Amino acid sequence: MTTKRFYYVVFVGKVPSIYESWIACSEQVTRFPGAAFKKYPSLEEANNAWTAYRRPHSNVQLLSPQLPELPTDYPPLLVPVQANMDDHTPSKLPKHCVYIAMLLLGVVIGILLLLVIMYIFF
């Protein structure tokens, strides 16, 4: 029985390139924020995807010199994804700072309301 061989393209990772094993690929993407990779059934498909991705990202270099570049006119394959989808804080401050600011604002508004009520009734 022959095992099917796959090739892994690491588009965004520690060392972006084409890898011949999942172990090598996983070393590049594990614990890497925003990592992007994909498995391909042939070296030609993996190289086509890598070349198509690399064109608009010219600062990324192919690290496997034995792989030939095949000309393709594919559009870019990846769209950047926000790392923390649950974070809807519009500012760059950490969440706890925003919560403290909201608490202080609530306290100030409460004191002002108390002063207005005291002025009106007393």
- Predicted structure pTM score: 0.46
pLDDT tens track for 73-90:
555 555 444 455 455 545
Residue 4 has what pLDDT?
A: 81
Residue 102 has what pLDDT?
A: 86
Contacts of residue 92, Cβ cutoff 8 Å, sequence gap at least 6: none
What are the φ/ψ torsions at residue 12 (nearest 5 degrees)?
A: -130, 120
Instruction: Give the chain's residues under pLDDT 70.
Output: 1-2, 57-93
